[in-house]
Amino acid sequence: MNKQDGWNEIGENYNKNWEREPEKRLSKLELNFIILQLKEKNPKKILDMGCGTGRILHCLFKNSKANAKIYGLDYAQKMVDFCKRSFYPTGTRSKIKAIFQCDFSNEELPKNLTFDFISAIRVLKYNKNWREIIPKIKNTLNPDGVFVFTMPNKVSASFFSNYGIQDCLTTRSEVKKLLIDQGLLLENTCSFSRLPRTFYTFFNGSITYAKLILFIEKILGIFLGKTLFGKELFFVTRKPR
């Protein structure tokens, strides 16, 4: 089965990965980070690549300006259909301009569209040619446009776990070099979790357990800094004016 079929099969079940309390709390940290970038840049045209079931799209919708134009894309038709069902009938259509099916690893990104803000959260890692995708994204960014994305860290517990679909791994320094070689400015890097995924999935329903997991993550962050041993590395990069 190829990865696209894999994601079609997962479909809306992907939401379940964020339903347990520890994962909800982790998701909140990730979304708050994205909100911070959005508030700083106030982008008008926004694209969410690999929108999945719309976790990031929803955040972009809620936290962008009223006149923002938001687009989403995914190569899994099931994900696209799910997002259309969740966003279109709720009156959000005015801000969410389109959600379309596209495999950005081998297709052109939306024709005639350029963006002030692009997100690709937990997405590029499913593409062996992710290094070649970054220059394509750069071409789609407006001057001063921002690209927020994640990649899993080779030097972390990510090495041992994935969602059943094999990820590509990298390091902070490899991505940094790649961005600099592309003439992009690296504005921020961080990570929110270091503990192996089993700590999140082994949730017994106790809020105290969820709080403990996130507390341990926080303490590890204080001692290890922003990215050391972080599993999913977040990068904020900007195209110079």
Nearer to ligand SAM, 121 or 141 (CB): 121
Nearer to ligand SAM, 101 or 209 (CB): 101
Nearer to ligand SAM, 63 or 209 (CB): 63
CA distance 219 to 42: 32
Q: At what angle do helices 130-140 and 172-181 cross, to 10 degrees?
A: 40
CB-CB contact of 240 with 183 (8 Å): yes
CA distance 228 to 53: 29
Q: How far is the CB of 23 from ligand SAM (least distance, A)?
A: 11
Nearer to ligand SAM, 4 or 182 (CB): 4
Nearer to ligand SAM, 169 or 209 (CB): 169
What residues line the site for ligand SAM (CB under 6 A)? 7, 14, 50-52, 55-56, 73-76, 79, 103-105, 121-123, 126-127
Longest dimension (CA), the chain: 50
* 62 contacts: CB under 8 Å, gap ≥ 6: none
- Which candidate, 186, 195, 146, places its Cα nearest to that of 38? 146
Structural tokens at position 205: 């329903």
Q: How far is the CB of 214 from ligand SAM (least distance, A)?
A: 18
Q: How far is the CB of 229 from ligand SAM (least distance, A)?
A: 21
- Sheet strands (E) in 23-140: 45-49, 69-74, 96-101, 115-120
Q: How far is the CB of 48 from ligand SAM (least distance, A)?
A: 7
- Which candidate, 40, 91, 33, 85, places its Cα nearest to that of 61? 91
Q: How far is the CB of 27 from ligand SAM (least distance, A)?
A: 8
Nearer to ligand SAM, 6 or 196 (CB): 6
Q: How far is the CB of 2 from ligand SAM (least distance, A)?
A: 11
